[in-house]
Amino acid sequence: MKLPTLFDSLPAQLILSFVLVVILTAVTAGLPAIWIIYQQLNQQAWSQVDQGIQATETLYAAKQTELKDLAIVTAQRPTLREYLIDNNLEELRNYLITLQAGAGLDLLVVCDEAQSVLVSTVTAIFKDVCMSWSAGGYQHQSIVSRSIVWLTASHPIESQGITGKVIIGLQLDDSFAQQMRDQTGLEQIVLLDRQPVASSLAGGLEGFEITDPSFFDVNTEANHVELELDQQPYYSAWLPLSDQGIEAQVALSVSVISATQRRLVWILIGSILIVAAMGSLFGVFLARRISQPLVSLAETAEAFRKGDLSTEVAVDAQVREVKEVAQALEYARIDLESTLDTLEREKAWINHLLESIVEGIVTINSQGHITFFSEGAERITGWKRDDVLKRSYDEVFKLPEQDSFISQNLPMPGSRIKLVVELSGGRYSTLSFSQAQLAPSETGETETVLVFRDVSEEFVVHRLLGDFLTNISHEFRTPLSALAASIELLMDQAPELSNSELQELLKSLHLGALGLQTLVDNLLESASIEAGRFHVSPRHSDLGEIIAKATQTMQPLLEKYRQHLLVEIPVSIPEVFADSRRIEQVLVNLLSNASKYGPTEASIDVFVEKDQDYLKVNVADRGPGIPDDQRDQVFYRFTRPGPATDIAKVGAGLGLSVVKAVIEAHGGKVGVDDHPQGGAIFWFTLPVVKGS
């Protein structure tokens, strides 16, 4: 089927016809006029070039005659003859220089009877000038890398036994060319073998560039040549001055003519555009008069197609058939609007029902693409409806296993299954899925409905509760078993035990009681934090005394595992605003963790740093350290810092959460960093007392 195009419409065809007629008319009338003007401008330009070449030829002839007369007058000057008779060459040269300046010449040479240069006003003149330039006329010479062209004249000197001649010359240089340009009105160029030696162009021969290769063609016979000089268009003609390849060239800049030609073209184009615009406006007016009713009906039908049924069909047309079509469309609009209103109300009721359901509801077609995504599904997954529609549900509900898809794990209709699914933002949740089959639609396609809800919190709570009960049972059982064993041994064998053995049993009893006390304290603090009854009573305190009490409390435990405690406190530290009992509990928990996760016979470092208005306390161990992905969670309840190295060292995961709560209640911060020598550094800050 052929697709409609813009030019299939009646208004477009009318407008295009008007525009084409206007353009053809303008081109037919404008192009001949431009061509005639162009030819007239060219003829005038070449006529000016011909007049310039004639004037140039006359001026060169006048200059040559003038030089011949000056040569005669110069040869007959008494002073010159007097200096020759006296052989006073120095005075003769000075006289010639003065004479040259007064006559506007560039060269004065006096030759003797042997045709040798006797005196010359130009030092760079070759020796045989008297012999080679005896006839006068146009001469040239080469000096270093450039050529000089002269217009010369000579006359013999015969007086009182003196025989010789005078040669005078005028150099055809840039200054001479500029004088010729001022007299002819055209640019002047002096050529030697078609190579420029002088020019009246701006800058002379500096930067002189000829872009037309025919300029250097010595076989070119055409008197009229179009060329470019200094990247500007010129009309030019040559005038031969001598049979030695010396020529004069005149050039007329035609940039103005080119600009005029371009201006004429633009005027023609502008005229065509203006007339075309006027014709287009007229065509638009006429097309609207003819096709506006049909266009209105087409727009109304398009609005119907897009669902806009609120606008009444009203077409002001003078054609009976168009009126009948408009009336039929109006009846159809009223019927469709009534039907759609009924459907919209039913759809709104169904959508409200679906959105009120907490569970997520997704419908999937036979190709596995999502066709419906409820508000509950958006809330659970974090995906927006527009982002998932028409996408495969295997891409939206990704399973952690790379080789498994949710379409392969769905339960049978009527049953449920729990799956861990990757949701928006890379987070994982445990979802409970069930599915059902919808009845085939009118197209015969069967869709599947997935209903799911998030059971992650239930799953996590059950798992954490189980882990907590297991760990807390283990935490209580271990010290209680040790206490029971030690007490039983004391009851049975106390009289038989030595003092060292008694001390060892008492130390074991003390460690067991200390562990139970720490565990009970953490449980009580965690319960008070959870209940919202936790508070601290800060006052002026000596941080050194707090650290001393905590290390004294933990010393038996450290001795048991043969661990070394290194404490580094500055000599002078300010007092802190803290609850001494709570901070001691924080240090006991951190030292207990350092001992628990550090190897036997390793060292544990406690050092204090001053940081502006805070004191920073660091507890460094030599354990396995804290992985980067666990640092954000390590201070939460039921989370243990890093993997346990021994089952006996597994804790309830409450100590660090208590540390975080106590320090933040003091207005401080807690954190963990890597230890440069291996292990982790747990730190916290406390505010110092102002002025202490």
pLDDT at 442 over 60: no
Average pLDDT, stretch 350-367?
Answer: 76
Could you tell me which CATH class the domain 462-523 is placed in? Answer: mainly alpha
Q: Which residue has the higher pLDDT, 656 or 524?
A: 656
For residues 596 and 588, give the distance between their C-alpha atoms in angstroms, rounded to a whole number.
Answer: 12
* Cα 214 to Cα 66, 185, 217, 225, distances in angstroms: 35, 24, 5, 9
Average pLDDT, stretch 647-670?
Answer: 73
Q: Give all strands of the β-sheet with 680-687 in edge-to-edge order.
A: 564-568, 603-611, 614-620, 680-687, 670-674
| Contact between residue 71 and residue 107 where contact means Cβ atoms under 8 Å apart | no
Task: Flag the least confident range among 91-95, 426-430, 479-483, 659-663.
Answer: 479-483
Report the CATH superfamily, name and number, of domain 357-454: PAS domain (3.30.450.20)
Among residues of the chain, what percentage have pLDDT more than 90? 8
Task: Flag the least confident range among 246-255, 283-292, 471-480.
Answer: 471-480
Note the pLDDT of residue 218. Answer: 46
Best-predicted range by mean pLDDT (220-224, 410-414, 465-469, 538-542): 538-542
Note the pLDDT of residue 1. Answer: 45
Tens digits of per-residue pLDDT, 484-498? 666 765 666 667 666
pTM of the complete model beyond 0.75: no
pLDDT at 23 over 70: yes
pLDDT at 271 over 80: no
Average pLDDT, stretch 149-164?
Answer: 84
Q: What is the mean pLDDT of the chain?
A: 78
Note the pLDDT of residue 313. Answer: 73
Closest of 85, 52, 510 to residue 239, by C-alpha:
52
Report the CATH superfamily, name and number, of domain 76-171: PAS domain (3.30.450.20)
Tens digits of per-residue pLDDT, 200-241? 887 666 545 555 555 555 455 557 788 777 677 888 888 888
Average pLDDT, stretch 578-599?
Answer: 87
Tens digits of per-residue pLDDT, 542-554? 999 999 888 887 8
Note the pLDDT of residue 354. Answer: 62
pLDDT at 468 over 70: no
Q: What interhelical angle do 499-531 and 543-560 show, nearest 10?
A: 120
* Cα 266 to Cα 34, 259, 276, distances in angstroms: 11, 10, 15
Note the pLDDT of residue 234. Answer: 84
Note the pLDDT of residue 637. Answer: 64
Note the pLDDT of residue 647. Answer: 35
Could you tell me which CATH class the domain 528-687 is placed in? Answer: alpha beta
Q: Which residue has the higher pLDDT, 290 or 39?
A: 39
Note the pLDDT of residue 418. Answer: 84
Collapsing DSSP to helix, strand or coil, 61 comes out as helix
Best-predicted range by mean pLDDT (298-302, 336-340, 374-378): 374-378
